[in-house]
Homo-oligomer: A and B are copies of this chain.
Amino acid sequence: METKSQKALGIDIGGTKIYAAVVDKNGKILSDIKKYATPKTRNEIENCLKSIIAEFEAVIDVVGISTAGSVSNDNTRILGSTGNLCKDYPKINFMKLSDKKVVLENDANCAAWAEYKIGAAKDKKNIVVLTLGTGVGGGIIVNGQLLKGKNGAAGEMHFKMSRNKRRQCTCGAYDCFEIYASGTGMRLSAQELSGNPAMTTYDVIDGVKKNDELCLKIFNTWQNDIIDGIIGLANIFDPDCVVLSGSMAEFVDYTKVTEAVNKEIVTTPTKVVPAKYANNSGLIGAALFALDAKSD
């Protein structure tokens, strides 16, 4: 793939914020990073995206958009639910927002692409990237290609951690990895183990810093759930490494987690590592993915 000296406008559409910047093929950000509150209606979002693109269209070759929700295999449209974005957001015709080629991809997939191309898993062809935030996203690279599945919805981290219907997940089903390994998962473990329904993720992190025994127990419960999930994923994918991204990833003890995972897996040894692009990974990954797609 020859990407020459092309530039992409990377746009990251989240539930609360939209970020945008011009990015080169090395992932270098060449402009200010524009930041907007995500509008509440489809029309306003379209207008916001149009005005961002208009500002940069003259200096870019392609537009890469990172979005919540699964994205079709041809990278043109959203297939499924998109969390806290407005209900008719998936109906936006992203392809018509620019005269340049527009490439759409799921946010966790964009984060995975950034880590694969220039980040913590650079040049590793088989990786699993987990974004641990309020929820959990998954982006998986198999043999140097994004794992998309038959329609593009692959990489959802909703596999079960329990047979007992203990916790209902945001997806409606019970006991998905997401509802244990996310920030929400830590909060629920805190409330279960403390008996205090007001206890927050912040309380746990704060207590861990102060070596509070209960908070350490809660934290380890959360981290063990992450270990258990990664064991399953490592056995399924035999990956070069597992990269943890997102706001909760900074709290993980990578040495301990790597050791615990390797102790149990039946596949070959792997590593669990922090993402290089904790911030801007959606924006940079979308830009790099769009540049790669354009040069195919």
Contacts and interface: CB of A to CB of B under 8 A. Distances in A.
A209 interface: no
A232 interface: yes
- Which of the listed residues A147, A148, A232, A265 has the most CB atoms from chain B within 10 Å of its own CB? A232
Interface size class of A (residues with CB under 8 A): 35 or more
Interface in A125-179: 125-126, 138, 140, 142-143, 145, 147-164, 171-173
A125 to B, nearest CB: 7
A125 B145 CA distance: 14
A97 interface: no
A267 interface: yes
A119 interface: no
A60 interface: no
Contacts of A180: 163
A266 interface: yes
- Which of the listed residues A152, A236, A237 has the most CB atoms from chain B within 10 Å of its own CB? A236
A267 B159 contact: no
- Which of the listed residues A70, A149, A228, A237 has the most CB atoms from chain B within 10 Å of its own CB? A149
Contacts of A265: 156, 158
B232 A159 contact: yes
A237 B149 contact: yes
A79 interface: yes
A103 B119 CA distance: 35
A105 interface: no
A162 to B, nearest CB: 6
- The A interface, classified by DSSP as helix, strand, loop or mixed, is loop
Given A231-B173, A264-B173, A150 B79 contact: no
A189 to B, nearest CB: 11
Contact of A266 (B171, B232, B235, B237): B171
A194 interface: no
Contacts of A61: none
Contact of A159 (B155, B162, B236): B236
B237 A160 contact: no
A156 B228 contact: no
Contacts of A5: none
Contact of A232 (B79, B125, B160): B160
A151 B231 contact: no
15 contacts: A149-B238, A149-B239, A149-B267, A151-B238, A153-B238, A153-B267, A156-B266, A158-B232, A160-B229, A160-B231, A161-B162, A162-B163, A163-B180, A163-B225, A172-B264
Ranked nearest first, the 7 interchain pairs of A and B with the lowest CB-CB distance are: A149-B238, A159-B232, A153-B267, A154-B238, A156-B235, A153-B238, A158-B235
Interface of A: 70, 79-81, 124-126, 138, 140, 142-143, 145, 147-164, 171-173, 180, 224-225, 228-229, 231-233, 235-240, 264-268, 270
